[in-house]
Amino acid sequence: CSYNVYSQITQDNVNSGSYDGNDQYPVDDIIASGAVLIASLMPKVDWEDITPELCESVASYFKETFTSKGVTVWLRYAHEMNYYADPSVVVYPGDYAAFNQTWKDMYTATESNDMIYMFWSPNVDTDSEPIAPWWPGKEYVDIVGMDYYPEGDALPDFATAYGSFYDTYAKGYSLPFAIAETGTQLNNGAATTAQKQQWLKSIINPSEGLGDYSEYYVSCTWFEYGPPANNIDFYIVYNQTESAVLETISNTENGS
């Protein structure tokens, strides 16, 4: 199982030249869980501000805090880069070359630690937010994945949603494929429970099976967020009774 935590690289980190988790990781709970830590590390500064020295500090933090305690880390650095660099969003700068350089610096800083895996995780590929310019190259990536939130009234099958990405980056480069974020919504609001369950089953246990996609597919993380932390209710098990949670698991295991 996996434990996804979001953190940022801020101007304070740039000014100090160091990263210490910024008090955003529930360390004891992560270690006790026995799960893989998916560390979703989002830069809130210019790419050029993330120096090789700062990357070394990131690597040291995860080594000293987690991997030395037996926790495997998937470092999901600058996730959804194609989406967050869109001019209508503007969280990341839209500079492909600078991104690729800082990604390579982060890879270099972590590559000696065989318990840290660099996880390349763009958002869904579109004409306005293309993925390809953000690809740093196979030699700098350990795991690939794509985030996707389809509409609840038009849910695709696995092949339609992920097939092209999987064939290009997972099968094409013989790299593990993991879905780091997914859920479903409806017209910028919450999807129905049935729609959420249908999508969950479609991506982890479709009745027709996963076929060739099972070769590199290793993990899926549902975006279990909702109010007050998130405007849209993506919850599928949160705050449910034990019986409801067990029923959801059973239904999913039975396939769609």
Which DSSP string corresponds to 9-69?
E-HHHHHHT---GGG---HHHHHHHTPEEEEEEEE-S-GGGS-HHHHHHHHHHHHHHTGGG
Q: How far apart are CA 49 and CA 28, in angstroms?
A: 31
User: From the candidates 64, 181, 242, 247, which is the catalytic residue?
Assistant: 181
pTM: 0.94
**Cα 155 to the center of its chain, rounded Å:** 20
**To 5 degrees, how large is the angle CA 48–CA 74–CA 112?**
75
pLDDT at 53: 98
181 contact partners, CB below 8 Å, separation of at least 6? 4, 79, 80, 121, 147, 149, 221, 223
Element (H, E) at 84: helix 81-84
The residue ranges of every structural domain in the chain are 2-254
pLDDT at 88: 78
pLDDT at 190: 96
The verdict on whether 80 is a catalytic residue reads yes
User: From the candidates 48, 80, 224, 247, which is the catalytic residue?
Assistant: 80
Q: How far apart are CA 12 and CA 151, in angstroms?
A: 38
Q: How far apart are CA 73 and CA 116, in angstroms?
A: 5
Q: How far apart are CA 125 and CA 58, in angstroms?
A: 28
pLDDT at 256: 53
Strands (E), 88-200: 116-120, 143-144, 177-182, 185-186, 189-190
Q: How far apart are CA 222 and CA 130, in angstroms?
A: 23
Q: What are the tens digits of pLDDT across the range 14-36?
A: 999 999 999 999 999 999 999 99
Rounded to the nearest 10°, the torsion over CA 150, 255, 230, 1 is -120
Instruction: Give the chain's end-to-end CA distance (angstroms, integer).
Output: 21
pLDDT at 239: 85
pLDDT at 206: 86
Q: How far apart are CA 142 and CA 214, in angstroms?
A: 18
Q: Position 70: which residue type?
A: G
Element (H, E) at 194: helix 193-204
What CATH code is assigned to 2-254?
3.20.20.80
Task: Please identify every stretch of the chain with a pLDDT value under 70, giving residue numbers as ranges.
Answer: 253-256
Q: What are phi and psi of 91, to 5 degrees?
A: -105, -45
74 contact partners, CB below 8 Å, separation of at least 6? 2, 36, 37, 38, 39, 117, 119, 142, 143, 178
* Inter-residue contact 180 to 121 (CB < 8 Å): yes
The verdict on whether 215 is a catalytic residue reads no
Tokens 């529930």 belong to which residue?
Answer: 26
* Inter-residue contact 205 to 250 (CB < 8 Å): no
